[in-house]
Amino acid sequence: MKIWQKILLVTAITLAIGGTYLFSVWHHRRQPGVVQNTNPEQNLTPDDVAIVRVKWMTTFDDTLALVGTSVWMKKGYVMPYYPFAGGRVEFLKSAGLIPAAEQLEVKKIVKAAAPAPVDDGITHGDRQVFAVFTLPGGPALYATAIGAIEGSQEAYFCDNLFYYDDPHTIYDNWPRSVWAVIDAHQVQPGMSELETQMSLGQMTESEGGEKGNRDVTYDVNGKKWTVTFVNNHATAIRTQ
């Protein structure tokens, strides 16, 4: 084979590989902001293929898109929130921890410097960025941290903190009876780990094997729940 033929062959192979990659990128970008597990080699459940949108926010201006929208808390009983009055975050009057799956109506996004003793789970930086919101049924304004700015560096955690769609619609395959338990922030035998997390928030510790086959402890505003899961079903529930 002549040199020019070898070069042409290598070029053709490279273009074919590159074309396949570009097609996959193009196809992915036609459906931006969606996290979905579609590995055909796995035995997928409806929960696995549920569409959970993400927004990939990297700047303060990106977060302004949240204003006028509803979000729902993913990290239940983890993020503190504070009254917001007179254009300020009242750090010395903590309102508690935001419950799991709580709906927040975002009214504005602000920057504020948190006092050194305040620990809200997000680095202080030079300034933190807060979502100012109302809760269902009340006009009172509250604020919770969603990111931080230090010099020219910015970091935002909205995708980790929030669902951008009502979880009731994301997981509409869950029975109404299960959703009733979740909305009451309780747990009952038979619930999966994800259903339990939606109700009781983030686990604080776990013992045993893989997800769905272990003991998991949750801290709900000081009340601890330990749930034993077997084959991803709650089989024993203990409280402290």
Interacting residues of 40 by C-beta distance below 8 A, sequence separation 6+:
none
Residue-wise pLDDT for 34-84, tens only, equals 555 545 456 899 999 999 999 999 999 999 999 999 999 999 999 999 999
Residue-wise pLDDT for 223-239, tens only, equals 999 999 999 999 999 99
Q: Which residue has the higher pLDDT, 2 or 72?
A: 72
pTM: 0.81
Q: Is the pLDDT of residue 15 over 80?
A: no
Q: What are the CA-CA distances from residue 158 to residues 62, 71, 86, 110, 114 (Å)?
A: 10, 10, 25, 14, 18
HEC states along the chain? CCHHHHHHHHHHHHHHHHHHHHHHHHHHHCCCCEECCCCCCCCCCCCCCCCEECCCCCCHHHHHHHCCCEEEECCCCCCEEEEEECCEECCCCCCEECCCCCEEEEEEEEEECCCCCCCCCCCCCCEEEEEEEECCCCCCCEEEEEEEEECCEEEECHHHHEECCCHHHHCCCCCHHHHHHHHCCCCCCCCCHHHHHHHHCCEEEEEECCCCCEEEEEEECCEEEEEEEECCEEEEEEEC
- Domain spans of the chain? 52-163, 187-239
Residue-wise pLDDT for 196-221, tens only, equals 999 999 988 999 889 999 999 999 99
pLDDT mean across residues, the chain: 87
